[in-house]
Structure 1
Amino acid sequence: MKKNTSILTFKNILKWFLAIVAVLAGIFLFIFVYYAFSAPSISQENLQSGGSSTIVDSTGKQIASLGDNKRNYVTIDKVPQQMEDAVISIEDKNFYNEPLGIDPVRIAKSAFNNVTKGTLQGGSTLTQQLVKLTVFSTDTKDQTFKRKMQEAWLAMRVSQKFSKQQILEFYVNKVYLNNGIYGIETGAKYYYGKSLKKLSLAQMAMLAGLPNAPSNYDPYTHPTQSKQRRDLVIRAMYNNNKITKAQAQEAINTPISDGLLPYKKVSNSSNTKRIIADPYIKEAITEVKKKGFDPYRDNLKITINMDYGAQKRLYNIVNSSSYVQFPDSKMQVGASIVNPNNGKVVAMIGGRNLGNVQFGLNRAVQTSRSNGSTMKPILDYAPAIENLNWSTYHQLEDTEYTYPGTNIQLKDWDEEYEGQMSLRKALVNSRNVPAIRALSAVGLSNAIDFAKGLGIDSIKESDGLSVGIGGSVSSLQGASAYGAFSNGGIYYKPYYVSKIETADGMVHNYSKSGKRAMKKSTAYMITDVLKGVPSSYATYANISGLHQAGKTGTTNYSSDAIAANSLLNGKAKDSWYNGYTRNYSMSVWTGYDSENQNGISSTYQSVAGKIYKAEMSYLAKQADSNPNWKKPSSVVSMMIKNNGSTTPTVASPSSSSSTYTKELFVKGHAPFNPYKDSDYTSSSASSSSSNQVTSNNHSSSSSESSDEENDTDTSGRVEITGSDADSNNSSESNSDSNTTDSTNNNTNSNGNTTENNNSSNTGNSNNSNGGTTGGTTGNTGGSTDSNGGTTGGTTGNTGGSTNSDATTNNGATTNSSADNNAQ
């Protein structure tokens, strides 16, 4: 009785088990069929084509194809038997015994591993690998259960439609072998300079082992790993009874370098678009790989953020003499343009006169050169406004200065000192000593934290205060950092790729979220000051009618470098121009690769700014608007007497407009103002609102609109006149009827031109009607000078200044060439 009960119990358990298995099998079959119907189509044309990814610009126009333009397709009858054996032994030894193109046992083992280890990899036959290379991505994020089911289904379809020999032919011609090489025949000629039939067993085994991880098993860059993989193939061939033990041992004893040709870079495409866009494509490919894709074998459609029209224009500017005159063919350029409102990289140039060289040095992203005075807004003045609430009037000393704890004296490019001046004048005229005093006042540690928020993380406290006038920053970093000034204080990390579409129809979209790097007031105030650079200092970069701001930067040679090469005396090592509008931010570096052999003479230190002008003129014409910056409510503008007082004094409306300028303060840190804007006459207000600082740099007769509190230029497109010319002698009018232009010679209301080195800061150029942060924190009674004395001021005035001579750099060191950054 017990025995019968046991049998019945066993039968019931077995019955339930089989029922559960049947239900599960039914569910699996249903899911399999469901996914199969949504699988991508596959054709003989797809199977025969080489692995290739297409790159298109932001408008969808094809820029390049990363593929098999020079692939040598080989039919299976021309493939040596030993080559076939090598491929099948290492990839799928049961290839000829898989009528459905799948291996249920391998799939079961893979499923077990997937469940226990949480992965969806393994179990693929050679036919499944062919399907994967043809219509699927190799990105691990795309290794979904659905994808694996579709892969198996398509492998079954391929196996039904094509013979094993045809499938093997498709596979050996499609595999990627690194260095831009597709297919084993092409690989044989690239690596060994021979056809397949002339290769040795060891050489065939090396090629057969590459597809698994092409870059990791590259015999040029990873010879040890390449040999290990090759020997694994040889042992697999022996274990599969395809070669004898003696043959295996002889092949294993063969050096991996046997018969290997010297490395050579392969150009997969010579079309003009590819050459023009090469540095951009190089960075985009790197970004795609970081996302887990292999653009050389995943058959992707990659949409990049490039504006090809802007890219082509930039390429033509630096590779011709139609826009800018270069001193010689050796001068190099690195330039980046980003959209400040989202971080998209619009265009990029990595060099000039490069011919058809692909993926060479990209000088746009190199960080081995100092950015000179373009660092000042980032590390010196913006942190002071942000942390100390300085105003644009804040007074600084341009007097003799020695770095704390050293005997290194800081000098300017003209080796002169101009005495007391406002922050506005110091930044526009790019005076070094005031900049370092500002950095000292705010503290290097605080400044470094501020710069990190702008994507510049290479600065260390051990660099010392001298980093305030130049550090290791690329043009891409510069354009992105200045982009935050443009958009009101939000930093967007620059990126190249906006969308990736896989061959099976999966779409991956990409964007960046901005992060606030500074207050709106800080960004606006810096922008307001930097408007004065193209309008009164670097007038060769000025574009009439365009709301723009910018900053120059040069680095000079150390005394040691000049002693070693006297031809460098009086020349610059690097020359920069960073400029921006509301729509674009651009950074341009110029210099020589052999920096200690060639320098930039003073005549050609304006090339960077002229490149900016030629490119930004084009971009301005293409833009739908010419928006101005709107003053935030956190900024207060006031008419301040330009009498040099450390305590800002509000000017009376009855005062002559030549005696005051409009300056900007952080709300809550401005002096008491008994007057209203309407109290000042329209003529005097218009005249005094420009804040064109007196410049000792050669100025052109360019004009700039006075930027009142206009948010957008209602005239729509900006009218650019003479945008491609290098002449600085034309007087240009602003098409916006609501703005007031400065006079032809940048004459201030005292009748002095901006070239007068001894004139006071009474000149008039455009100023947006907004303000910047003002005053040092805590100064409520006046300003403290280096001797500890005070000068009285208006009670509650937080616009006073503290002489930063009293601040030390907490022992931070400075480099010996600290006095060599200029302009």
Structure 2
Amino acid sequence: MRLLKFVWWFCVTVFCGLLLSFSGAYLYLAPNLPSVDSLRSIQLQIPLRVYSNDAKLIAEFGEMRRSPIRFADIPPDFINALLSAEDDNFAHHYGVDLSSLMRAATQILKSGQIQTGGSTITMQVAKNYFLTSERSFSRKINEILLALQIERELSKDEILELYVNKIYLGNRAYGIEAAAQVYYGKSIRDLSLGQMAMIAGLPKAPSRFNPLVNPERSKERRDWILGRMYRLGKIDEARYQAALNEPIDASYHVPSPEISAPYVAEMARAEMVGRYGSDAYTEGFHVTTTVPSQLQEAANRSVQQGLINYDQRHGYRGPETRLPGMTHETWRKELAKQKSIGGLEPVIVTQVEKSGILVLTRSGKEEAVAWESMKWARPFLNTNSLGPRPQQPADVVQIGDLVRVRRQDDGSLAFSQVPAAQSALVSLDPRNGAILSLVGGFSFEQSNYNRATQAKRQPGSSFKPFIYAAALDRGYTAATLVNDAPIVFHEAGMEEAWRPKNDNNTFLGPIRLREALYKSRNLVSIRLLQAIGIDYTLNYITKFGLNRQDLPRNLSLALGTANLTPLEIASGWSAFANGGYKIQPYLIERIDSRFGQPLYVANPPTVPDAGAANSQAAQEPESEPVAETLKTLVSTNPEQPQPVEAERILDARTSYIMTSMLQDVIKRGTGRRALALGRSDLAGKTGTTNESKDSWFTGYNADYITTVWVGFDQPESLGRHEFGGTVALPIWMEYMGTVLKDKPPHLPAEPEGLLTLRVDPLSGRAAPPGTPNAYFELFKSEDSPPPMSELDPGSHIPGGPLPADDVAPIDLF
């Protein structure tokens, strides 16, 4: 009895001691514990996702890959697999499993160090959301206390939902949905039982049981979990055996873009960081851009094919490197270091035959490249010179050459090389400025420099329409005669006189403005600028949204020596396509929160009666901490203000006449190649700078305004016979031909206040009946020329030159 009493009092003493110790720890630690209520409103880090206008993924930005999933959407098989692996008593304990804690304590006593923590899923939720991964008794007590609070305030389903969305499962995957996408490329709902068990085995040690790194250990873990599920009665024997026989088929799946638009994605990312700072990467924003996927794909193809065609006209520059005398294994290792550039794959030549070559691809396969695809590869000597035509494959390559090929539609390989020149394409909706497609270079992998928005280059003759529009609003007409004759400028400080000339060094004498534009006569543009005045012209052109600092204050402005980006050119030209209104290019159509609530909807200034549906708008949220923004805007829909009307910057009649003149550029001028598209609603202008360093084409109808630039990043000549019409125009044609296919012609409507009169081609005046070669011309009603009989000698001709300001002395000869 004395022994029993001793044992009894000993147990009572130990129990009281433990109770007092636990109570003391609780009283000491409880005031510093975080509120469990915050779990209900916790916001997990979700990456920024950028989509096309038709909801195709363009890019994802963020350190953590996470796609939160609701408990109701989690498959029961996965829940059973997870609980079998991590906490099979989860449904019955109250946050702490005493048997697990005792087992962990026993291990500590035996080994002298912490091996397992004895944590339940609830305790892991407490640790993952509130605590660190430090291994200490104080942290464990905090974990236990928090787990007890969590069980009191949250349901089991809520606790499981928090757990499966937070846990790290390797390869930057946080949460089970992200892990399913990373390892299997499918949703957790679409996985097999064996695959679910594989993912359920990752929380214990994501690196040790990673199926990509340690497939054997991950299989052992998977099979152990399946055995636990069978013993616990969660699956029957047939399913158990079938799951055991499933192969280890995990592979790395990154969220692959559904459409290639890396320059668009980078622009959207930069704008989101400007709006929200670093929160842009973690708050789960869903960004919808203005870019339709089919237009972007057309732009990608057009730029890449256009550059390849230009590059091949100028010959083969040789292999990227030579690796002769090496084994296939060494070659494979070298290929693994290379990356695809604009769809051009790196390969190594393994055999050279009469009919073609065999190449080793990055996949380790040997494939044939036909001789027919290599005949273009004359040796490159310089921009204007090529070597002799190759007669056989051996004249082009040797065994061990690292070269590029592109996969053709039929699956065969064609010989190629990465173009040395670059290009940019930007296409806008002229009614509201929406960016419809944008390409900033041959390949984002090669260079992330966005030439569409960052490269300021001289536009050459594609700038002339701004000068001509200024002249039309200064009293000139499309029929005004201007002398296309030599001109010399002498200015103080100049060592030599400036003698501008036309590109073919010819002179046509008095020429109508319409004809001068479609023939791109430089001297007419200079005389126009001289007559209407530089200051007037600069003030006029800045209304198109161009920065005055980029416009030279001298007569070279008439030749397109301003420094402008393709986006600025397209934006300025939009006024010709939309009837005279200024638009502001924009890319982001809509921003939604992680909950699908709209935070921002674009409300761009829009041309009247040009589709108000494109302007369903919401005011941008005020600048405040993003968490507060989300709380405020998730509960209410943004208000929809009235659509904003675009500012008129150009007389509608001037815009219409300019469109008519620019149509002639395509019908009978430097853009005649575009006639191959078989459309009557196209207007545009080529541009080529000195020594053909920059090649441009800008063109439009009432639905699309598209600008294409081609050149070298470090300016050099594109070639003696390369112009806007040979380099940039084919890219523009390929793109516009695709986007306008099967669409009816659409030009801006003719405004009131215009007259169509017969004109004498020799005088530019109204032609009397019987005048030979008379033609019809458009005029503003107040600028129509009088008949020749009404003119007195020396009187001012409407549409004639007006006094100039700030012009240099000139000599005519």
TM-score computed with the length of structure 1 as normaliser: 0.52
Equivalent in the alignment of 2:371? none
SS, match of residue 478 in structure 2: coil
1:164-217 CA deviation, whole Å, 9 max, x = no partner? 99699659999999xxxx9xxxxxxxxxxxx999xxxxxxxxxxxxxxxxxxxx
Indicate the residue corresponding to 2:470 in structure 1.
383
Q: What is the distance in 2 between the residues matched to 1:499 and 1:40?
A: 29
CA-to-aligned-CA distance 1:24-44 (integer Å, 9 cap, x gap):
xxxxxxxxxxxx9xx99989x
CA distance in 2, matches of 1:286, 1:297: 15
The superposition leaves residues 516-551 of structure 1 with CA deviations (integer Å, 9 ceiling, x where unpaired) of 121101111111100011111221123213311000
**C-alpha separation in 2, matches of 1:485 and 1:531:** 11
* AA of the residue aligned to 1:628: L
Structure 1: give runs of 5+ residues left out of the alignment.
1-35, 102-126, 128-155, 183-194, 198-266, 558-571, 676-779, 783-790, 813-823
Alignment partners' CA distance in 1, 2:39 and 2:518: 60
Equivalent residue number for residue 616 of structure 1: 736
Please name the residue that 1:301 is paired with.
286
Q: Deviations over 1:727-756 (max 9, x none)?
A: xxxxxxxxxxxxxxxxxxxxxxxxxxxxxx
Q: Counterpart in 2 of 1:373?
A: 461
| Structure 1 residue 400, shift from structure 2 partner | 1.8
Partner in structure 2 of residue 56 of structure 1: 51
Distance 1:613 1:72, change over 3 A: closer
User: What displacement does 1:394 show?
Assistant: 1.2
**Per-residue CA shift, 1:259-303, capped at 9, x if unaligned?**
xxxxxxxx99683645x2111111122233333364322211111
- Is the 2:58–2:262 contact (alpha carbons within 8 Å) kept by the matching residues of 1? no
Structure 1 residues 620, 324: closer, same or farther in 2, change over 3 A? farther
Equivalent pair of 1:534/1:550 in contact (CA under 8 Å): yes
Q: What is the aligned counterpart of 1:511 among 586, 592, 603? A: 603
Work out the CA distance in 1 between the residues paired with 2:476 and 2:159.
Answer: 76
Q: 1:576-655 counterparts in 2 under 5 A?
A: 576-596=696-716, 598-603=717-722, 605=724, 606-621=726-741, 623=743, 625-643=744-762, 645=763, 648-652=765-769, 654-655=770-771
The CA distance in 2 between the partners of 1:414 and 1:68, in whole Å, is 57
1:638 CA displacement: 0.9
Equivalent residue letter for 1:511 = N
What are the residue-to-residue correspondences of 1:419-818 with 2, within 5 Å? 419-459=509-549, 463-470=553-560, 471-507=562-598, 508-513=600-605, 514-537=646-669, 538-542=671-675, 543-557=677-691, 572-596=692-716, 598-603=717-722, 605=724, 606-621=726-741, 623=743, 625-643=744-762, 645=763, 648-652=765-769, 654-656=770-772, 659-672=773-786, 791-792=793-794, 797-799=797-799, 801-802=800-801, 807=804, 809=806
Gaps of 5+ in 2: 1-36, 69-85, 87-115, 118-123, 180-204, 208-251, 315-418, 606-645
Does structure 2 retain, via aligned residues, the 8 Å contact 1:367–1:473? yes
User: 1:667 Cα deviation (Å)?
Assistant: 1.7
1:270-285 aligned within 5 A:
271=256, 273-274=258-259, 276-285=260-269
Per-residue CA deviation, residues 684-717 of structure 1 (Å, 9 max, x unaligned), is xxxxxxxxxxxxxxxxxxxxxxxxxxxxxxxxxx
Percent identity of paired positions between Structure 1 and Structure 2: 22
Retained in 1: the 8 A contact 2:65–2:172? no
Over alpha carbons, which structure has the higher Rg?
2
Alpha-carbon deviation of 1:781?
6.1
2: CA distance, partners of 1:357 / 1:268: 23
Return the alpha-carbon distance in structure 2 between the equivalents of residues 503 and 573 of structure 1. 47
Provide closer, same or farther for how the CA distance between residues 357 and 671 of structure 1 changes in structure 2, counting only shifts above 3 A.
closer
Task: Compute the displacement of 1:309 (Å).
Answer: 0.7
| Secondary structure in structure 1 of the residue aligned to 2:699 | strand
Deviates more, 1:413-422 or 1:444-453: 444-453
| TM-score for the superposition, normalised by structure 2 | 0.52
**1:397 paired residue number:** 483
Closer, same or farther: CA 671–807 of 1 in aligned 2, 3 Å: closer
Maintained 8 Å contact 1:577/1:609: yes
Q: Which amino acid aligns with 2:291?
A: M
CA contact (8 A) 2:455 2:564 kept: yes
> C-alpha distance in 2, partners of 1:446/1:431?
22
Root mean square deviation of aligned Cα: 4.8
Deviation at 1:584, TM superposition (A): 0.3
Which amino acid in 1 is paired with 2:595? D
Match of 1:317 in 2: 302
Deviation at 1:65, TM superposition (A): 2.6
Q: Distance in 2 between matches of 1:40 and 1:670?
A: 76
Tell me the amino acid that sits aligned with residue 548 of structure 1: L
* Residue identity in the other structure for 1:668: E
**Pairs within 5 Å for 1:3-14:** none
1:119-165, CA deviations, whole angstroms, 9 ceiling, x for partnerless residues? Answer: xxxxxxxx9xxxxxxxxxxxxxxxxxxxxxxxxxxxx8699955999
Change (3 A) 1:196 1:809: farther
For the 8 Å contact 1:464–1:809, the answer to whether it is kept is no
Distance 1:622 1:475 in 2: 27
User: Is the 2:307–2:421 contact (alpha carbons within 8 Å) kept by the matching residues of 1?
Assistant: no
Cross-structure match for 1:116? none
| Alignment counterpart, residue 409 of structure 1, candidates 494, 499, 508 | 499
The range that moved more, 541-550 or 477-486, is: 541-550
Against the structure 1 CA distance between its residues 300 and 272, is the aligned structure 2 distance closer, same or farther, given a 3 Å change threshold?
closer
* Secondary structure in 1 matching 2:783: coil
Secondary structure of 2:687's aligned partner:
strand
Residues 470 and 540 of structure 2 are in contact (CA less than 8 Å); yes or no, is this contact kept in structure 1?
Answer: yes
Query: Hey, what's the Cα distance between the residues in 1 that align with 2:39 and 2:758?
Result: 69
**Mapped partners of 2:469, 2:647: distance in 1:** 17
CA distance in 1, matches of 2:436, 2:782: 39
Quick one: distance in 2 between partners of 1:506 and 1:333? Answer: 38
Q: Which of 347, 361, 369 is matched with 2:449 structurally?
A: 361
The equivalent position to 1:418 in structure 2, one of 508, 513, 534, is: 508
Q: What count of residue pairs does the alignment treat as equivalent? A: 489
Counterparts in 2 of 1:96 and 1:497: CA distance versus 1, 3 Å? farther
Partner of 1:716: none
- Higher RCO (Cα < 8 Å, 6 or more apart): 1
Match of 1:335 among 415, 418, 425: 425
Find the aligned partners of 2:162 and 2:766 in 1 and give their Cα distance: 90
SS state at 1:410 partner: coil
Q: 1 CA distance for matches of 2:46 and 2:498?
A: 59
Shift of 1:339: 0.6
What's the CA shift for 1:552?
0.6
Given that 2:306 and 2:731 are in contact with CA atoms closer than 8 Å, whether structure 1 keeps it comes out as: no
